[in-house]
Amino acid sequence: MEPNSLNRPFKRTGERVLGIIGLVFNVIGIILTFALNNFMKMLSTNPQFQQEFEAEIWNDPTLTESDAQAIVDMVYFGMDWMVSFGWFFIAALVISSVLIVIALIQLNKNAKLSGILFIIAGVLAGILTLSSILLYIAGIMCLVRKPPVAETSYDNDQMRPL
């Protein structure tokens, strides 16, 4: 360790970089989910798509009438469910992104708070997505890494403390 290393401020560059990358992935996720959500909504409300889709299913000779109706109902239900879940996922990503920004601002002031915020943002970003894994690592680094403690030299003292 070099002599002046204890006088320099403790840098948390690794945590900052991981947080920024996680934030970028969250923003990309928000944009892609929004686009997919709009596309699914457009398909589910487009009468031409519905007619063509139903015609393909009903004209399949391997399907019975009840099977074809079940497939049509399941696809429309799935599309509606995906649109609803997409809005929930967008909201979770927006909240996660706000928490990341707060954690990045507080990083040098209160590393423990930033670590907790990074971990919560990782959970909101998805349990095992690339973004959440980066945020978990940043949060754990914030909680585990401590600034170096200055060592006190007692070489010139006659008495040492117990």
pTM exceeding the 0.75 threshold for the entire prediction? yes
Q: Give the whole-angstrom CA distance, residue 64 versus residue 53.
A: 16
Residue type (1 letter), 105: I
Is residue 2 left, alpha or beta, with left meaning phi > 0 and alpha meaning psi from -120 to 50? beta
What pLDDT score was predicted for residue 9?
73
What pLDDT score was predicted for residue 158?
65
Q: Give the whole-angstrom CA distance, residue 129 versus residue 135.
A: 10
What pLDDT score was predicted for residue 119?
97
Q: Are 75 and 53 in contact, with CB atoms under 8 Å apart?
A: yes
**Angle separating helix axes 47-58 and 65-106, nearest 10 degrees:** 130
What pLDDT score was predicted for residue 147?
79
Strands (E) across 7-92 are located at none
- Ranges of residues in the chain whose predicted pLDDT is under 70: 1-8, 150-162
For the CA atoms of 149, 139, 25, 38, the dihedral, rounded to the nearest 10 degrees, stands at -150
